[in-house]
Structure 1
Amino acid sequence: MELTIRADVSAHMRELKQWLAQTRDEPAEDMNGFFAARVDTYEAHMSVWDKAYGRVAELTPGDCGPLLDLGCGTGLELDRIFARWPELAVTGVDLCAAMLEKLRAKHAGRRLELRCADYLAMDLGAEQYGAVVSVESLHHFTPEQKLELYKKIHAALRPGGFFLEADYIACCEEEETLLRAESARRRARANIPADVFIHFDTPLTLEHELALLRAAGFSYCEAVDSIAGATFLRGRK
C-alpha cells in the first residue's frame, strides 16, 4: 500500500531543522521524568492524534484478546478500544507510574492489568497474547533495540496474532540520519550512557521499520494507514 508519510517533505524538513537549531542547547530529559512532569497536560497535548487513536480501535477486533499495550501511557488508545470492546482483557506496560495511575483511575473495573516496567527489558512471555499494540512510543529507540523488542513481541503472540504499531515514521533517509546523529550529539554532550532512556525522537523510515519486523519473524507485514503523522504498521505471526 502506498502511503504519504508527510504531504510536504521539504516543509517538514525545514521546520525540523529550525526546531533542532532552536533547541540545540536544551538539556536532555530522561524518559520517565519527561512524562511524569507532563502527566496533567499529556492528554491535551496528544489530542492532535485523536483520529489516530480511533483508528487503533477500528483495527483492533474484539476477539483478539488478551491484548498487550506497550507504552500505554494514560491509555488514550485504550479509551477507544474499551469503548468498543468493554470486556477485552488488556495488559498495559509503561515506564511512568504517574501515567499508569491516571489510566487505572479512568478504567477501574476493566479487565486491565498494569505493569510499571521497561518493556525493552521485561519478559513478554510466549504465545500469551492475541494482539500487541504500541502507539507513539517506539520512535525513541535504536534499530538494534527495536529488533530485539520485535522478536519478543513475535514470541509473545499466539499463532495468527498480530502486532499493530502506530508511530512517528521518518519521511526520508535524511530525517532518520539527522535525528539519530543529533540524539548521539546530545547524549555525548551530557555524558548520558546509551542504556539510559532520553526523550528524543529517532524515527526510522518506513522501509527500515518494515525490514526490522520481517527480520524479527513476522511473515506478513504491511503499512495500513497514515493519520496526522502517525503511520500504522501491522505484522502477523
Structure 2
Amino acid sequence: MKSKETYMQELKKWLQNTSDSSLEEMSSFFTKRLDDYEEHMSVWEKSYQIFAGLLPSNCQEILDLGCGSGLELDKIWQRDPDIKVTGVDLCQSMLDKLLEKHPDKPFTAVCQDYFQYDFGIDRWDAVISFESLHHFFPDPKKELYQKIFQCLKGDSVFILGDYIACCEDEEELLRSVYLKKREQSAIPENCFVHFDIPLTLAHEKGLLQDVGFVVENVIENPDNATILIARKALR
C-alpha cells in the first residue's frame, strides 16, 4: 500500500495535469461512459460481494441510492432473487442498462435526484449506496443521512461503500480544486457535476453519528473502497 505522502504527491500531480479539464454534468458524464462503465467498476468486485453478505437475513425491500447499472445488485440478487429494490439514479441510461440486465427482478427504477426523492418513513429494511456520495459536501450529505435514518425500519441498516479521503489534506485539496473549477465555469449551484470530494473516515462517521446512527463496523480497503455499516438502533 502506498504511503500517504506518495499518494498525495501523485494526487497533486494528477490534479495539475488535468487542471485544464472542465467539469461535466453528472448524468452526461456517465452516459458518455456507459459502454465501459461496468469494466471500469469491476475493480470493486470484492466490495460488491461484501455488500450482498452484509444485508440482514430478513431483508425484503431495499433502497439503493446512485444504483447505476446495478453491479452491487447483481450480487444481491444472486443471493436472493426475491429482494425488492428501488434504485434511484440521475442517469436514465444507467437505469435502462440495469433493467435490460434484470428484466425479471422486482425492481423499481427512479430517475431523480436522491436529495429530493421522498424516501418515506419507517419503510425500508436496508438502504445501500456504493461509490456515489463522495461527490457531495457535508451539509447536504448530513441532511440525506437524516432522511435515510428516518426512512429505515427500526433496527435496520444503512450500508455505505465509498471513496474515503486518506487525510484532511486530501479532503481540503480536492474541495478547493472543485470549488475553483465550478467558479471558473460559472456552474449553477443546483447543477450536479462529476468530481470527487470525499470526506475522511472520521468526518464520514461523524455525519452518520450526528443524525443518530450507530456505526457498527468499518471494512477498510477490501479493494480500495471503504464500507461502513450504520444501524438505526432501537430506542
TM range (shorter): over 0.9
1:136·1:166 contact (CA, 8 Å) conserved in 2?
yes
What does 1:179-190 align with in structure 2 at a 5 Å threshold? 179-190=174-185
**1:80 aligns to 2:75 (yes or no):** yes
What does 1:79-98 align with in structure 2 at a 5 Å threshold? 79-98=74-93
Tell me the residue number matched to 2:31: 36
The one-letter code of the counterpart of 1:193 is P
**1:53 aligns to 2:48 (yes or no):** yes
The one-letter code of the counterpart of 1:137 is S
2:136·2:197 contact (CA, 8 Å) conserved in 1?
yes
Match of 2:19 among 12, 18, 24: 24
Tell me the residue number matched to 1:102: 97
Percentage of matched positions with identical amino acids: 48
1:62·1:85 contact (CA, 8 Å) conserved in 2?
no
Shift of 1:219: 3.5
Shift of 1:65: 2.3
Structure 2 unaligned runs (5+)? none
Q: Deviations over 1:148-193 (max 9, x none)?
A: 0000000110000100000000000100000001100000000012
Question: Which secondary structure does the structure 2 equivalent of 1:61 belong to?
Answer: coil
Structure 1 unaligned runs (5+)? 1-5
Match of 1:160 among 152, 155, 163: 155
Number of aligned residue pairs = 232
In 2, Cα distance between equivalents of 1:142 and 1:44: 28
Shift of 1:13: 1.0
Question: Which secondary structure does the structure 2 equivalent of 1:41 belong to?
Answer: helix
- RMSD value over aligned CA atoms? 1.2
1:62·1:88 contact (CA, 8 Å) conserved in 2?
no
Shift of 1:234: 1.1
Question: Which secondary structure does the structure 1 equivalent of 2:34 belong to?
Answer: coil
1:210·1:222 contact (CA, 8 Å) conserved in 2?
no
Shift of 1:46: 0.8
Question: Which secondary structure does the structure 1 equivalent of 2:58 belong to?
Answer: coil
Tell me the residue number matched to 1:150: 145
Deviating 4+ runs (over 4 angstroms): none
Decide which moves more: 6-15 or 34-43: 6-15
CA 1:219–1:61: 2 relative to 1, 3 Å: closer
